[in-house]
Amino acid sequence: MRFLIIIIGFIFFANDMVAQRENIYHGGQVIMNIPAAQTNTTADIATYIKNHFDSDVKRIHAIYIWVTHNIKYDKDSIHRVILDEDNEERVSYSLKKRRGVCEDFAAIFTDICEKSGISSFAIEGKTKQNGLIDRTPHVWCAALINNKWSFYDPTWDAGYVSGGSFISQVGTNYFQISPEDFIQYHLPYDPLFQFLNYPVSYKEFYKGTSQPKNFKTYFNYKDSLQAYLQSDSLSKYASSLLRIEHFDWPASIIDNKLKRIKLEIELIYQDRDMALYDSAIADYNKGIEILNDFINYRNNQFQPAKTNGEVQQMFRSITQKISGANQKLVKVNKSKATLTLNTGGIQQKLDELASAVKEEQNFYKDYVNKKKVAIQ
């Protein structure tokens, strides 16, 4: 009886495997039949996928198939410098050319995932092949399916480079791999992205060994990852920088990565400073505009007539603009950016505007008082 149950169980399992293979094959046919006109943007590809696949499991497989079949590795693209915040440019350019390096594969894959409703992001680190650490960094992807994070490497599954030429050899060897298996040949710069409670060190990765868990410190990566994903770009870079600096990376390997992160942080600070500076100038210009309205009103013998409340509101509005601009300049002057803006010129203009407003307020006050006396 037990033998019969085992046989029946095996039959059900075999039938399930056959059904899965048929679904994968069918899904592959559907995505490869996508009209060319719907492959010009990741948004169009995502729309097609959402309309033809009814679950995240099917959708991410379709995305992977499309990317690995349609994007070719192009080592010349490695010379194209695109910073992290220009991801849209990277995706658009690589999709148009249908070529790119690992960053481009990852960018296209994650962008289609996100637009298909699947949480995904790219990860950079070092890889190991045939027992040796690769000289150049590599980029792969992580995606959340059914509340579980897994890894994807569309570049490695698109083919390989031999003799300077790309050889297309599409597969799914690096599709939806568990953290425990993926860490054997992919080590992210940021240990958070190992998705392991006991992160593997560089030395362990290099030697292919692992220390017992009782010799390691427990790391709650799930809570840290949730906090990371909910933070802004600056906080993401800052926290990642700290984790990488405290990891056991050899300086020769990690130096360029740290420089790039610090550059991204510097650019964010500079962009914030410029936005504050521009906003302060806009406040100043608006204050000048309101002051000129009052001066025209005064030169026109205070006609057409305004109530005292209306005139005082004009003065208050100018003062508020000056105050707002000054607060923004204080932030600019306290910037952590290495390259800072010179706020001396606009600060002088604001001080001059404040003096001019004070003079006009006093003039208007005297005018109102004299008018009251004349009436009495």
Integer Cα distance of 198 and 193 in angstroms: 12
More confident residue, 166 or 249: 249
User: Cα–Cα–Cα angle for 309, 310, 314, nearest 5°?
Assistant: 115
For 20, how many CA atoms within 13 A lie in the half-sphere containing its CB?
8
List beta partners, residue 166: 161
**304: cis peptide before it, omega within 30°?**
yes
State yes or no: pLDDT of 12 exceeds 50.
no
Average per-residue pLDDT for the chain = 89
162: Cβ contacts below 8 Å, ≥ 6 apart: none
Question: How far is the CA of 234 from the CAs of 36, 103, 267, in angstroms?
Answer: 38, 21, 10
More confident residue, 236 or 21: 236
What residue spans of 301-343 are helical by DSSP H? 308-333
Question: How far is the CA of 281 from the CAs of 220, 275, 293, in angstroms?
Answer: 46, 10, 18
Integer Cα distance of 150 and 142 in angstroms: 6
List beta partners, residue 124: 139
Chain mean position to CA 255: 22
Integer Cα distance of 352 and 349 in angstroms: 5
Q: What is the reported pLDDT for 9?
A: 43
State yes or no: pLDDT of 16 exceeds 50.
no
Q: Which two tokens stand for residue 354?
A: 């404040």
Integer Cα distance of 58 and 153 in angstroms: 17
Reported as a single tens digit per residue, the pLDDT across 201-243 is 999 999 988 777 777 889 999 999 999 999 999 999 999 999 9
**pTM summary value:** 0.82
DSSP 185: T
